Amino acid sequence: MRKYRILILSVAVVLAALAAYGVFTAPRVKPSDSDHFSAERVAADIKVISRKPHSVIHPVERAEVRNYLYDRLTALTDSSAVLYPYENAVEYEGKSIDIANIYAQVDPVIDDPDHPDPSYLMLIAHYDSRYPQKVLDKTVLSYGAADDGYGCGVALESLKQALRYRRVWRQGVKILFTDSEEWKLAGINSALEHNPEIFDDVGLIINLESRGNKGPVLLFETGKNNSKVFSLYKKAKAPYTYTFTSVVYEHMPNFTDFTPLKNKYPGMNFSNLDDINHYHTDLDNYDNISLHTIQHFGAQLEPIIEEYLTNHEYRDPKALVSDKSSVAFTIPAIGLLSFSKGGYLLANSIVLALFCLIFVFAVISGRIRPIKVLIASAKLFLWAIVAFGIGELIAWLICLITGAKFSFMGIVRGVQFDEWVMIGTAVITALIVLFCFITGRKRSADRISATAIRKSAAASGATKYSYNLLYGSMLLLLLLSAILLLIIGENFFFVLPLALAAASMFLWRVTTWRGWLLVAIVITLLHAFSFLYIVIIALTMGALGVLPFFILIYLALLLPLADFYTRKEKTI
């Protein structure tokens, strides 16, 4: 039976990894003849948009892109597209630059006597590419295929799909393609200053961005008091979000067209984040676009847009305005979990109570000794700090070798094999932790069996080691959860594994079914694979130390659970 459990566990781990990385859970690319959102149709627009660099210093090329998008919008919206030119809107290297935004509006068909003035969904993307910048020793220009060809193409395709059911629209659509977003947000700021009327009756902003060229699309930012926005986001297929990223983004020197709007309008800011080496460089070209990434934009947006346009609940432009904020995160294959602030505090309190319950029970039953658990927790934290330091040292050495500029916990560019470094660091860390667990458990078993008479003493020693490590890791997760909850109000990446481990241990003891341990392992891995991927991709190699830090703590929790799941009943 033990061999079967080991096999089941191995298969479950592999499937969790595949599901987390979207091998069989990511939306399939729809062909150009599909009746639904098609990444291939978006790619056709991107091919035109990204023919040449079209930054703030390329007026002729920007005009070509502008005219193309204007014509596309005119064809889709029955000539409602409008150009808003702004002379001398911004200066670049001492030279005044003229810019122009593109705007279109499509009104709903169904009237509502209670709300004669309908609300609008506004889709925003910018059509300029990045101005010249230096990467290592080379000055490069982006072709704007992903940033923001993705946004422009996705907006056009989303409108096209929505027009298929316009007969049941209760709300309308506005589209704004901004100029010179890359240079001081000139387009959106000009619109707010000179044409604020285009934002009248806007009930929801959806901003479309791209940082990199591939990877899943993340809802990385909403405005404050976002509880109703997340209620709408629940309609998305293949949702991918962490409200934690909004907290982090507020402290980063990054801006999008959503930045000056997020405190005025309910909204969602979407972007893919992989790969930083393609971002704002000549690698951001049509040859490097990802149809899978584009399709993920559509998978999330299509049901959200349909719900907003057809549900009478959103007729009032203030329908998504709230005075409450949500804490939300996604788990691959499970979906979106969203809590009110009060509900999240309650959930944390329940986890605390559950941990205390199983901790006291384990002490009373003689399975653990508090001092041993405290020592295990302290050692684990110290080793996690060491692992973090080693990870940062590796990143610094690689930057030194490659000539890339190292930034501690900051963005690092120019390391072309950074993904392999991250994968290698993760694999090596996992192998070291596994080796230390096996040798530590064996050492504990040998130490006890050397002075014991019973044959089962070795198994008892191994069991005590696993219990001490498990409860030590849970105690550390509890302390880290409490600290983060007090500081930033978000701690799901610590409290979720703790909750799953505590619940599985409780249910195992109550029901005697060890399958609960496997469930906890699988869900924790689904979360860990997805969360650690987005953290390291977003922060890049400058935060490489975060990877071994989390892996060590997570495995210190999961390996004892796996040990208990696969061991013979009489030895645990």
Where in 127-223 does DSSP place strands (E)? 133-135, 138-140, 172-178, 202-208, 214-222
pLDDT at 454: 52
CA torsion 198→195→86→146, rounded to 10°? Answer: -30
Closest alpha carbon to 164 in 305, 311, 316: 305
Judge contact between 464 and 560, C-beta under 8 A. no
State how far Cα 61 lies from the chain centre: 33
Closest alpha carbon to 100 in 143, 70, 135: 70
Coil, strand or helix at 204: strand
- Count of alpha carbons within 13 angstroms of residue 155, beta-carbon side: 34
**pTM for the structure as a whole:** 0.92
Q: What are phi and psi of 563, to 5 degrees?
A: -60, -45
- Return averaged pLDDT per consecutive 10 residues of the chain, 572 residues in all: 84 93 89 95 98 96 97 91 94 93 95 86 98 83 96 98 96 97 96 97 97 94 92 95 81 82 95 92 96 97 98 94 93 94 95 96 92 96 97 94 88 86 94 94 75 54 90 97 93 96 96 95 96 90 94 97 86 64
- First and final C-alpha spacing in the chain: 15
Q: For residues 472 and 312, what is the distance between their CA atoms, to the nearest angstrom?
A: 52
pLDDT at 457: 47
Closest alpha carbon to 432 in 391, 464, 461, 395: 391
Judge contact between 108 and 311, C-beta under 8 A. no
Give 483's contacts (C-beta < 8 A, 6+ positions apart): none
pLDDT at 236: 96
As a three-state string, the secondary structure of 375-431 is: HHHHHHHHHHHHHHHHHHHHHHHHHHHHCCCCCCCCCCCCCCCHHHHHHHHHHHHHH
pLDDT at 470: 97
Q: Which amino acid is at 358?
A: I
Residue 75 tokens, joined: 């064809």
Residue 316 tokens, joined: 């009032």
**Residue keyed to tokens 């919206």:** 77
Which domains occur in the chain, in start order?
2-19+340-571 (no CATH), 27-331 (3.40.630.10)
Q: For residues 303 and 538, what is the distance between their CA atoms, to the nearest angstrom?
A: 26
Residue 63 tokens, joined: 């005009």
